[in-house]
């Protein structure tokens, strides 16, 4: 099953800058069976974890995180790039594979002691997910797992995130 997901990911060389091999997930989204498989692969492993919310990372992470939250019947919390969220926020900055970024989360998005999972499309160096984890921690949340559709294992993001349980559906 995972092989079908892997086969559908499209490699786009030199996007968004030269030297980056971009993993394009849009062919998975276009195929209803594969889109459902991707969402179910993450959602089905959360049973019994007593989760309060799924934290989704701007922007491709939203696609999967929203669907996982719907399937689990729990809330969705967006982590957005700076300046996009309208209410008061907690903020953190980080570096990624191409450039640097600042992430925000609403201050009332998570309550102390809430169990959450964080979902994004792809784990590269781990900076983006670490920023989301930092925001959850700032609000006193507990990270039950960080889930990705794709892991670029050679970039060792998993080591950077070693304080948290990590799951990826497919690896390169
Ligand atoms: P990182 O913070 O280095 O783990 O980068 C992960 C974030 O950047 C994710 O939100 C991905 O969507 C995006 N990203 C990084 N590298 C790639 C890549 N090679 N292909 C597609 N997306 C990527």
SS3 59: coil
Q: Is the CB of 52 under 6 A from ligand 1?
A: no
Beta strand pairing call for 75-81 and 115-123: unpaired
User: What CATH number is associated with residue 154?
Assistant: 3.40.50.2020
| Domain of residue 156, residue span | 49-171
Catalytic residue among 45, 97, 101, 160: 97
Among 60, 80, 104, 158, which one carries the catalytic annotation? 60
Stretch 82-97: mean pLDDT: 92
134 found inside a domain: yes
Q: What is the mean pLDDT of the chain?
A: 96
Within a domain: 66: yes
Query: Catalytic site residue 60?
Result: yes
Asked whether residue 73 is assigned to any structural domain, the reply reads yes
Other Cβ atoms less than 10 A from the Cβ of 123: the count is 26
159 in catalytic set: no
Tell if the pTM clears 0.95, that is, is over it.
yes
| Domains: count for the chain | 1
For residue range 114-144, list pLDDT tens digits in order. 999 999 999 999 999 999 999 999 999 999 9
Which of 127, 136, 119 shows the shortest CA–CA distance to 99? Answer: 127
- Asked whether residue 110 is domain-assigned, the answer is yes
Residue 95 has pLDDT above 90, yes or no: no
Average pLDDT over residues 38-64: 97
124 alpha carbon – ligand 1 mean position (Å): 5
Asked if residue 111 lies in contact with residue 83, where contact means CB atoms within 8 angstroms, the answer is no
Other C-beta atoms lying within 10 Å of the C-beta of residue 120? 25
Q: What angle do CA 83, 22, 79 make, to 5 degrees?
A: 25
Site to probe by mutation for ligand 1, drawn from 17, 55, 97 as the one with most ligand atoms within 8 Å of Cβ, is 97
- Which of 6-15, 48-57, 87-96, 142-151 comes out lowest in average pLDDT? 87-96
Residues 58-88 as b/e (b if ≥16 CB within 10 A, e otherwise) read bebbbbbbbbbbebbebebbbbbeeeebeee
């Amino acid at each position: 099953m995972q092989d079908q997901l892997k086969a559908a990911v499209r490699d786009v060389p030199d996007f968004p800058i030269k030297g980056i091999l971009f993993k394009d997930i849009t062919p998975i989204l276009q195929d209803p069976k594969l889109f459902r498989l991707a969402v179910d692969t993450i959602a089905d492993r959360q049973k019994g974890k007593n989760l309060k919310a799924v934290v989704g990372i701007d922007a491709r992470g939203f696609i999967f995180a929203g669907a996982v939250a719907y399937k689990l019947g729990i809330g969705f919390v967006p982590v957005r790039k700076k300046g996009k969220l309208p209410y008061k926020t907690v903020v953190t900055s980080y570096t990624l594979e191409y450039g640097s970024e600042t992430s925000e989360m609403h201050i009332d998005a998570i309550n102390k002691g809430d169990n959450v999972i964080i979902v994004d499309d792809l784990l590269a160096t781990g900076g983006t997910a670490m920023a989301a984890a930092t925001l959850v921690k700032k609000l006193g949340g507990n990270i039950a797992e960080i889930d990705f559709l794709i892991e670029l294992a050679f970039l060792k993001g998993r080591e950077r995130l070693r304080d948290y349980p990590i799951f990826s559906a497919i690896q390169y």
